[in-house]
Structure 1
Amino acid sequence: MTKKVAVINDLSGLGRCSLTAAISVLSAMGIQACPLPTAILSSQTEYPSYYCYDFTDKMEHIRSEWEKLNTTFSGIYTGYTASVAQIEQIFHFLDTFQTPDTFLLVDPVMGDDGVTYDMYTSDLLAAMKKLVSRADIITPNLTEFCLLTDTDYKAFQNTSLNMEDIITKIQTASLALTENHQKKIIITGIHFTDETGIHKIGNLLIDNDTYHLSSCPCCSGSYSGTGDLFASCITGGLARGDSLTDTMQTAGKFLEQALIDSSKERVPVNDGVNFEKFLCLLM
């Protein structure tokens, strides 16, 4: 029987992100994606103009209908949330559908490159910390990891730091996230220079006292939706029962090829990467 994952995220018509990314990736990986929209947008929010329809008051209707049907999920994957009210809706959803056999992956979307997004508030951060505390795995970028652990983002901007220094700092800070509930943490999009002088971008898995770094040469441009694609790959791998480190490698190769192609084709960064032709790598 095909496994089902509930995906709680926004739906953007343009921008290749959020639910558009998750449904495509999970479907390619043989997983049924069951979308629960938090908002419906004409395009993702980095475009100069967009229309957004807030779906918060509709989320409960979907939850209750799925409950009537005795629906079960192998996993629950949450992404962009625009308000504390939406996170409260997610808690209600978890109370209904999360079981010991249902994993929870939280992608705590709040900012990037040391800058928070427009919807970010201190109340949202507090609610996100509570949501993260229930997760089995989280996929923050470095900015979001710093927010969740009350760490100064500037501590990672020292150019004299090597990757071992960065990993040590992250391992120390990550203890705050595993104090009450053990979880795996994958920090995405870490920029560093390796011992040969090559600029790379890496994804770092912290699993108790161990870690695993997956990296590839850094491509030019910072494209919309790459974090969503990565988190979706991890979700699909968990649902299939694949090794987490193997899934990280697969996701890295998938994104690397999509980024190379997008750079070659000069795709505008807001449009997201040309991932569609590389979905075969995930099968």
Structure 2
Amino acid sequence: MKNILIIHDASGFGKCSTTVALPILSGMALQGTILPTALLSTHTGPGFEGFTFLDLTDEMEKIVDHWHSFGLQFDAAYVGYLGSVRQIKFLERELPKLLKDDAKLYLDPVMADNGEFYYGFDEEYAKEMLNLCAIADVIMPNQTEASFLYGVEYTEGVWPQEKIDEFLRIVRQQTNASVVLTGAGFDGQSQTGAYYFDAENGDQGLATAPFIGGKFHGTGDIFGSIFVGAQANGASVQEATQLAVDYIPRIIEKSLDDPNVMHNGLQFELFIGDLANYVRMLKQNQN
């Protein structure tokens, strides 16, 4: 069983980051090891003002030193929320030692959305994140993050193909990573999705699914976890992207049965059995 290093923050209550990635990857027949970047009392969505936040940078260094002492290495790493330039620099230095020679680094450069940086993030952070993108195998930015990282003008809605081509051209000048651009298929009405580019074979295209209205905390983490789970089990970039795109509206639609969905989070747990079946079928087709 492959061991995936999950580098995300951890919220005590609320379904996002580590508390999403670990159960999804486990359900997809992968062992998860966590390196938490911060500890929060709750997720940071509406209704949780005053949440606690503990930066774990110092503890991350101690944890990794312990792992190095007995030669622990991983088959892949899935990196999400990093709270500081210091954490990025730490991972730039340590990830090459933590990953096996054939391991893949999946990076969700969490920092911005809707044309704005999240609180606590800025251009200096984006500049340093580019160095982590340069060593990644797959980067998964949303359109705002793609704009801030690579200097492409941010616009809402579906990016025309020529703008996506411009973005990919700039990316290819700086990294050999495959790219999954989330939100690229969102037309504000009936469709949403992601644009994928597979650096290994040049395959690219738009994966779409029906749009279910609303913004929900943890959606990106669910998407990324499903994508990583599929890829780590042998799915192509295209297959993994389409799988994640297909599951997000299904999970949202089912979660709307909960009148407190904004508080409780999306009910991804109801679909872990389906994802486990997907992995079993994927493995059978590979044999």
**Paired position in structure 1 for 2:31:** 32
CA contact (8 A) 2:3 2:30 kept: yes
**Paired position in structure 2 for 1:160:** none
CA contact (8 A) 1:141 1:187 kept: yes
CA shift for structure 1 position 99: 4.0
CA shift for structure 1 position 130: 0.7
Once residues 228 and 86 of structure 2 are traced to their aligned partners in structure 1, the CA distance between those partners, rounded to angstroms, is: 24
* C-alpha distance after superposition, 1:224-267 (max 9, x if no partner): 11111111112112221122222222222322211001223334
CA contact (8 A) 2:192 2:211 kept: yes
Which of 196, 200, 217 is matched with 1:205 structurally? 196
CA contact (8 A) 1:6 1:34 kept: yes
CA shift for structure 1 position 150: 0.9
* Structure 1 pair 127–4 and aligned structure 2 pair: CA distance change class (3 A): same
- Aligned identity (percent) is 31
**Paired position in structure 2 for 1:77:** 78
C-alpha RMSD of the superposition: 1.8
SS in structure 1 of the partner of residue 215 of structure 2: coil
CA contact (8 A) 2:78 2:228 kept: yes
**Paired position in structure 2 for 1:100:** 101
CA contact (8 A) 1:221 1:269 kept: no
Q: Tell me the TM-score normalized by structure 2.
A: 0.89
Once residues 135 and 172 of structure 2 are traced to their aligned partners in structure 1, the CA distance between those partners, rounded to angstroms, is: 10
Asked if 1:265 corresponds to 2:262, the answer is no
SS in structure 1 of the partner of residue 74 of structure 2: coil
Amino acid at match of 1:235: V
**Paired position in structure 1 for 2:9:** 10
SS in structure 2 of the partner of residue 182 of structure 1: coil
CA contact (8 A) 1:254 1:281 kept: no
Amino acid at match of 2:193: G
Amino acid at match of 2:254: D
Once residues 193 and 140 of structure 1 are traced to their aligned partners in structure 2, the CA distance between those partners, rounded to angstroms, is: 18
Instruction: List structure 1 runs of 4+ shifted beyond 4 angstroms.
Output: none
* Structure 1 pair 259–42 and aligned structure 2 pair: CA distance change class (3 A): same
CA shift for structure 1 position 118: 0.3
* Structure 1 pair 103–211 and aligned structure 2 pair: CA distance change class (3 A): same
CA shift for structure 1 position 29: 0.4
Once residues 69 and 148 of structure 1 are traced to their aligned partners in structure 2, the CA distance between those partners, rounded to angstroms, is: 36
Once residues 118 and 107 of structure 2 are traced to their aligned partners in structure 1, the CA distance between those partners, rounded to angstroms, is: 17
- Could you list the runs of 5+ residues in structure 2 that have no partner in the other structure? 277-287
CA contact (8 A) 2:185 2:206 kept: no
* Structure 1 pair 270–174 and aligned structure 2 pair: CA distance change class (3 A): farther
**Paired position in structure 1 for 2:238:** 245
Once residues 174 and 115 of structure 2 are traced to their aligned partners in structure 1, the CA distance between those partners, rounded to angstroms, is: 27
Asked if 1:256 corresponds to 2:255, the answer is no
Once residues 44 and 64 of structure 1 are traced to their aligned partners in structure 2, the CA distance between those partners, rounded to angstroms, is: 29
**Paired position in structure 1 for 2:285:** none
Amino acid at match of 1:205: Y
Q: Tell me the TM-score normalized by structure 1.
A: 0.90
Pairwise mapping of residues 1-283 of structure 1 onto structure 2 (< 5 A)?
A: 2-46=1-45, 47-154=48-155, 156=156, 166-193=160-187, 199-208=190-199, 209-283=202-276
* C-alpha distance after superposition, 1:162-188 (max 9, x if no partner): x5x623201211222221431110011
